[in-house]
Structure 1
Amino acid sequence: MSVEEIVLLNAADEAIGTVDKVTGHHRDTPYHLAFSCYVVDPAGQVLITRRALSKRTFPGVWTGSCCGHPGPGEGLREAVERRLRDELGVIVDTITPVLPGFRYRAVAADGTVEYERCPVVRAVASRPGVRRNPAEVEDAEWWSWERCLELVDRPEASPWFRLQMAELVPLGAPLEWPDAGTELLPPALRW
């Protein structure tokens, strides 16, 4: 079984090394590369997920469709497609950068820190069947945009979901989110 590595970043968002994903997350987690994805169907429904209760960090929180860490040398599109397939069994038609400059820091109840440069993408799936991986996802549901907006103020929402929604809401409904392009992606991450 291979060890999943995360890409460490400097203040200029350049890769400066890697660390094992499990041992790299602790009370002083180094700044590293990640992504978040919102899967939308052609009717504008958003796939919202609840993290598995067995997850070490932020278990059971509700959040966007999927998040993850691009591996060393892995492009953003590849990483998103891999995690969607592994976590949800979802194949998407398009992936669009929406918030390429997003970054955040959050502290879990056990003191574990997430400190990530975390570009946010929208993926459109015309075949919305979901086969969730129970080791990753406790629940997955297609929600209206209005229901997503209601989650923002609920305690079971992930901290990164709240922060992302603050930037996504002004862009309109998910199918209206403009393509932000790839120019603002971190230097450590190719498209």
Structure 2
Amino acid sequence: MTSTLDPDVEYVVLCGSRHERIGYAPKAEVHHESTPLHLAFSCYLFDQQGNFLVTWRARHKSTWPGVRTNSCCGHPGPGEVIPDAVARRLTDELGLVADRIELVLPEFRYEATMPNGTRENEVCPVYRATVTNRRDAAPNPEEVDDTAWVPWREFVAEVEADRTTVSPWCALQVDQLRALGPDPLAWPVADDSRLPDAAREPLEAGH
């Protein structure tokens, strides 16, 4: 954990046992065999026909390289609310701008460990983003290897048939998203009051 923030360093928000914010750590130093609990998000991007933008993670990433997963993931930084972080990552990773970004799974939390021992340990609210006029993504090769627009129902069926075809967090999220209904555009929007404390508290950088 760090208390003095360097403006040139990308930080993540560290979480306590009640999912409250307890400090910050450099993103580059967080993921290892004893990854501390920290705040993240996942986003699922849809067009107006309910097609979903699936992505493949860049093959040189340290966690789950080359794996098929949801549209984008990321970490809100100090002073950043999660919808702004979602918009930032959609642009940085995919070159896309969403028309709407809405909370659908406020309480999602997971852990997963790679064969080499590297561990994910995140409080990770899930958001639905939508675009009115669909266009092809422009993947950032540092983050994304490839993308494809696919019918949501087909994607869900593929994950149900073989959960190992996607990232572990995506498989768990699809389980919960399926429970919201078959039409992703009709999923109910969750209230921000259900977010973990670390996401609802002001995220201003402090000492």
TM surpasses 0.5: yes
**Alignment match of 2:165 (pick from 156, 169, 174):** 156
For structure 1, the residue ranges without an aligned partner over 5 or more in a row are none
Structure 2 Cα separation of the partners of residues 156 and 60 of structure 1: 11
The answer on whether the counterparts of 2:40 and 2:122 sit within 8 Å (CA) in structure 1 is yes
Aligned to 1:77: 83
Q: What does residue 20 of structure 1 align with?
A: 26
Instruction: State the SS of the aligned residue for 2:36.
Output: coil
Larger Rg: 2
Name the CA distance, whole Å, in 2 between partners of 1:142 and 1:189: 30
CA contact (8 A) 1:91 1:127 kept: no
Amino acid at match of 1:3: V
2:156 partner letter? L
CA distance in 1, matches of 2:130, 2:198: 25
Matched, 1:100 2:109: no
CA contact (8 A) 1:58 1:109 kept: no
1:151 CA displacement: 3.3
Correspondence for 2:204: none
CA distance in 2, matches of 1:64, 1:122: 11
Paired residue secondary structure (2:192): coil
Taking structure 1 as the reference length, the TM-score comes to 0.96
Please state if 1:177 is matched with 2:205.
no
Q: What is the rounded CA distance, in whole Å, between the counterparts of 1:70 and 1:178 in structure 2?
A: 23
Separation (CA, whole Å) in 1 of partners of 2:195 and 2:142? 30
Contact kept in structure 2, 1:90 and 1:128, CA below 8 Å: no
**Number of the residue aligned with 1:68:** 74
Counterpart of 1:135 in structure 2 is: 142
CA distance in 2, matches of 1:37, 1:24: 21
Q: Deviations over 1:101-122 (max 9, x none)?
A: 0000001222111000000000
Q: Displacement of 1:71 after TM fit?
A: 0.4
SS at match of 1:55: coil
- In the TM superposition, structure 1's runs of 4+ consecutive aligned residues that sit over 6 Å from their partners are none
Secondary structure, aligned partner of 2:198: coil
Q: Tell me the alpha carbon deviations over residues 148-183 of structure 1, each in whole angstroms, 9 at most, x when there is no partner.
A: 113312423100011001101011121121101111
How many aligned positions are there?
Answer: 191
Label 1:181 to 1:138 Cα distance change in 2 as closer, same or farther (>3 A).
same
Unaligned runs of 5+ in 2: 1-6, 202-207
Quote the RMSD (CA, aligned, Å): 1.4
* Aligned pairs (5 A) from 1:119-130: 119-129=125-135, 130=137
Q: Quick one: distance in 2 between partners of 1:147 and 1:54?
A: 28
Asked whether the 8 Å contact 1:107–1:113 carries over to 2, the reply is yes
* Aligned residue number for residue 152 of structure 2: 145
Q: Alignment partner for residue 55 of structure 1, among 43, 54, 61?
A: 61
Partner deviation per Cα, 1:99-151 (whole Å, 9 max, x = no partner): 00000000122211100000000001113221110110011110101221133
Aligned counterparts of 1:146 and 1:38: Cα–Cα separation in 2: 13
Within the alignment, does 1:114 sit opposite 2:124 as a pair?
no
